[in-house]
């Protein structure tokens, strides 16, 4: 189990504010080759 303190969560929020990480993880061509997605 992972336990995060309020300080841990604040540090994560400072490093990567909510909404800054977005978009596809892998290119569409790669995913279609796996038969995943459209």
Q: For residue 15, what are the domain limits?
A: 1-38
Cβ atoms of 31 and 37 closer than 8 Å = yes
Buried b / exposed e along 1-38 (16+ C-beta atoms within 10 A): eeeeeeeeeeeeeeeeeeeeeeeeeeeeeeeeeeeeee
Phi, psi of 23 (to 5 degrees): 100, 180
Q: What DSSP character marks residue 22?
A: -
- Return the DSSP state at 25: S
Q: How many domains does the chain have?
A: 1
Reported pTM: 0.50
The pLDDT, as a whole number, for residue 18 is 87
In tens, the pLDDT along 1-38 reads 999 999 999 999 999 998 888 888 888 888 888 877 65
pLDDT of residue 38: 55
């Amino acid at each position: 189990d992972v336990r995060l303190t309020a300080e841990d969560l604040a540090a994560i929020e400072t490093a990567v504010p909510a909404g800054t990480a977005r978009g596809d993880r892998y290119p569409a061509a790669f995913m279609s080759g796996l038969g995943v997605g459209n």
